Structure 1
Amino acid sequence: MTQVDARPASAGGREPDRAAQARFGYLLVHFVEDPYGHEERIHYSLSRGDDPTAWDRLGVVVESRLGTTGLRDPHVVRSPRGDEFFLVATDLRVFGGDDAGWDAWQRHGSRSLVVARSTDLVQWSEPRLVEVAPPEAGMAWAPEAFWDARGGHYVVHWSSTLYDPADTEHAGESYSRILCATTTDFVTFSPARVLLDTGRTTIDTTMIEHDGRVFRFHKDNSPGGRELYMDVVPHALSDDAVVLAERIGADRFGHVEGPLVFRANDAERWYLFVDQYGEAGQGYRPFVTDDLTSGAWKPMDGRFDLPDRTKHGVVLPLHDDEWHRIAEAFHP
């Protein structure tokens, strides 16, 4: 990992508007499931040209020696002016670390996120641990960051179990809900608040904005629940949600989680990758729609070329120079 200047920058500035530049190619930022090695690090996979269905794995770009020394569930957000990127990830090492198990990790896991910054998507700053979840939380998992133009800040959200403050041992019963905090620089964060509490175990929220509304995907992990479902809200911090679809991917792929969603560079088309788990060959499986507002997702026809065990991350649509810069930096 190569270190760059980690000083944060504000959302203002005079840099050119990158939105007007040609979009080309996609970057998939993810981790790899490997019970036998240490792959709980941040990996890159790069689209073959402008094709979001064919990918080449480039390798590891960020590794953590902090906290649990594991990095899972990475997410990258582009700044509103397009000249810097922030990475957030779960501080959890499942393989080769503390073997306490999932119940213990949800009660006494890391309440911090791993954060890094880049200006070119090639070099990343040394990662930092930022404590965002309150003491009554059991952990802070699957973080994502969303630029909220309405509020002029990033909304960073994650899943946490919450316990009564008097239950300092976190021995009681609880369930995961989605918490959030706001930031402008990924150094100072507002106090955490509950963003989504359905009374059922909810994890892996992701968001995308379209036509002035925010479309969200969540995993309901409760028995008999909605499984992976989709809703829409007026803005990122709203609790006025309308459910558009439930049990996405369940009939075809069984257990799925860790959704990522992105818009195609060249068309009014959206891709939804869902993370299949619990079976051999686990990893992302693709869905597609030409109408994000419909909630109707079709399994993608044809070839989908992505190595197995590519797990829980984000696809970042790129500009032409970004794709070529990454390709030149990482391809042998």
Structure 2
Amino acid sequence: MASPHRFGYLLVHFVEDPDGHGEQIYFSLSHGDDPLAWDRINGGRPVLSSHAGTTGVRDPHIIRAADGWFHIVATDLRVWRAEGQDWEEFRRHGSRSIVIWDSPDLVTWTGPRLVDVAPPSAGMAWAPETVLDPATGDYVLHFASALYADDDPRHEGPALAQLLTTRTRDFHSFTPAEPYLSLPGGVIDMTVAVDDDGRIHRFAKQDDEAPGSWQVFQQVGDRIDGDFRTLKTNLGQEFGPRVEGPLIFRANDDERWYLWVDQYGHLPQGYHALTAPTLDGEWQPVPGFSLPAHTKHGAVLPLRDGEWERLRQRDADGGWSAP
């Protein structure tokens, strides 16, 4: 079978907007095959919205499944709402569900649907992502959650954010969630990439207040559920003292990788980019990176075989009306 022609990139994300409702799914499309210049398409309006659960979605991730379908998973969380922000309440009594959409072509989407993934002892299910496990052929869904003691049903005691995993083959049914990674102070926002040797690289964020925090860090291992060693820490600190939400993707020409980190310590918030020739390389800031302000925590999908043209044509034909 011929290799697919690769051209262009899709960024699926949300927008930080205290005065509006940016906690929806937005699409940004690269300028042709340039991964450093982007337009927020659909006239800057969301492409997908959720009226289920909290009615807000953050931290979306998109995967191209082995059967050719695409799946978006997102946090069921609306921070900016009339009754105000309460991050402590979100952590202790937030949604234990994620929001999912499905598509055969990136243009037509079904959903949203809520799927419970976190156990009753969990306070929330944040920043879900899926990755194909090459060792088993199923998909690992990982997300951040705080687990409270069994004798603390009201979630009043202490609990740190940690990473949990569950598995699926159809994006409808999921195995019971299991603890995956915990660190002093808490850990969130994991994303995963596989290198040419089949090694698993995971990037995540240790809590800012943890003594000697690694901040955004990179680890490598041979299996998703195996042992990992730390390669890099404090990634993206040149962009500000508070960065999170790493995303990772490989350029279509195979000559380099891009690591984006989401700066949230000052305005304007949004992504900044690092690059390296290999996942083991030295990450360097990218000059000339162009992305609309307040483009927040999402995922980049490298496109194939006319997908960029299909998305651009749909945008030219009037775009999407978020349901």
Is the shorter-chain TM-score for this pair beyond 0.5, marking a shared fold?
yes
Identity, in percent, stands at 48
Match of 2:155 among 146, 158, 170: 170
> Aligned residue for 2:234?
247
Match of 2:60 among 74, 79, 90: 74
**Offset at residue 163 of structure 1 (A):** 0.6
Query: What is the rounded CA distance, in whole Å, between the counterparts of 1:247 and 1:282 in structure 2?
Result: 18
Query: What is the rounded CA distance, in whole Å, between the counterparts of 1:53 and 1:203 in structure 2?
Result: 26
> Aligned residue for 1:63?
49
Query: What is the rounded CA distance, in whole Å, between the counterparts of 1:254 and 1:71 in structure 2?
Result: 25
Match of 2:170 among 175, 182, 185: 185
SS state at 1:327 partner: helix
When residues 100 and 55 of structure 1 are mapped into structure 2, their CA distance, relative to the original with a 3 A threshold, is closer
> Structure 2 counterpart of 1:227, which letter?
Q
What are the superposed Cα offsets for residues 131-157 of structure 1, whole Å, 9 maximum, x if unpaired?
000000000000000011211100000
What are the superposed Cα offsets for residues 218-273 of structure 1, whole Å, 9 maximum, x if unpaired?
100142311111101211222x1110000111134221000100000013200011
Match of 2:254 among 253, 261, 267: 267
> Aligned residue for 1:231?
219
The alignment of Structure 1 onto Structure 2 pairs a total of residues equal to 311
> Aligned residue for 2:12?
29
> Aligned residue for 1:280?
267
SS state at 1:168 partner: coil
Match of 2:284 among 291, 298, 315: 298
SS state at 1:126 partner: strand
> Aligned residue for 1:13?
none
> Structure 1 counterpart of 2:249, which letter?
F
Is the 2:250–2:257 contact (alpha carbons within 8 Å) kept by the matching residues of 1? yes
> Structure 2 counterpart of 1:45, which letter?
S
SS state at 2:100 partner: strand
TM-score (norm 1): 0.91
> Structure 1 counterpart of 2:65, which letter?
S
1:328 equivalent in alignment to 2:313: yes
Query: What is the rounded CA distance, in whole Å, between the counterparts of 1:98 and 1:160 in structure 2?
Result: 23
> Aligned residue for 1:54?
37
1:206 equivalent in alignment to 2:191: yes
TM-score (norm 2): 0.93
Is the 2:139–2:167 contact (alpha carbons within 8 Å) kept by the matching residues of 1? yes
> Structure 2 counterpart of 1:253, which letter?
G
> Aligned residue for 1:221?
207
Query: What is the rounded CA distance, in whole Å, between the counterparts of 2:134 and 2:47 in structure 1?
Result: 29
Query: What is the rounded CA distance, in whole Å, between the counterparts of 1:273 and 1:256 in structure 2?
Result: 10
When residues 284 and 222 of structure 1 are mapped into structure 2, their CA distance, relative to the original with a 3 A threshold, is closer
1:309 equivalent in alignment to 2:294: yes
The aligned runs of 1:105-144 (5 Å cut-off) are 105-144=90-129
Q: Structure 1: 5+ residue runs without aligned partners? A: 1-16
What are the superposed Cα offsets for residues 74-101 of structure 1, whole Å, 9 maximum, x if unpaired?
00111124x2111100000011255350
SS state at 1:291 partner: coil
> Aligned residue for 1:4?
none
> Aligned residue for 2:3?
20
> Structure 2 counterpart of 1:103, which letter?
E
> Aligned residue for 1:44?
27
Query: What is the rounded CA distance, in whole Å, between the counterparts of 2:94 and 2:239 in structure 1?
Result: 33
Query: What is the rounded CA distance, in whole Å, between the counterparts of 2:83 and 2:225 in structure 1?
Result: 35
Moved over 6 A (4+): none
SS state at 2:47 partner: strand
Is the 2:208–2:242 contact (alpha carbons within 8 Å) kept by the matching residues of 1? no
**Offset at residue 116 of structure 1 (A):** 1.1
